[in-house]
Amino acid sequence: MTKQSVQAVYPCGECYCGCGAALDDPRAFFLTGHDKRAEAEVIREKYGSVVAFVVAHGYGPKSRRGPKPKLALPPAHARMRGGK
Ligand SMILES: [Zn+2]
């Protein structure tokens, strides 16, 4: 699936979730946490659940497209600074 083209959006001093709250930070799009609230609402309205959402986009247990494994930490001796 390819990325959809979207219209350009710019901060406007009001929360983009639709709650109507004014934002103090002129660079902000959302009040804290309201981005996730809006995201969850869109997923629920369009797909019904997060599971249906990820499956619709090619993810799932058999897809092998899930989150990438975390990188392994370097060996302990390589993480020590100035150790003897
Ligand atoms: Zn909001």
Q: What tens-digit pLDDT sequence spans the chain (84 residues)?
A: 567 788 999 999 999 999 999 999 999 999 999 999 999 999 999 999 999 999 999 999 888 776 666 777 776 666 665 544
Residue 38 CB: number of other CB atoms within 10 A? 17
Q: Tokens 């975390």 sit at which residue?
A: 70
Contact 14, 21 (CB under 8 A): yes
pLDDT computed for residue 83 by the predictor = 45
CA 15 to ligand 1 centroid distance, Å:
5
CA 36 to ligand 1 centroid distance, Å:
10
pTM: 0.65
Q: Over the Cα atoms of the chain, what is R_g?
A: 20
CA 35 to ligand 1 centroid distance, Å:
7
pLDDT computed for residue 81 by the predictor = 58
pLDDT computed for residue 69 by the predictor = 66
pLDDT computed for residue 73 by the predictor = 73
Helix locations, the chain, DSSP H:
34-47, 50-56, 76-79
CA 42 to ligand 1 centroid distance, Å:
14
pLDDT computed for residue 84 by the predictor = 45
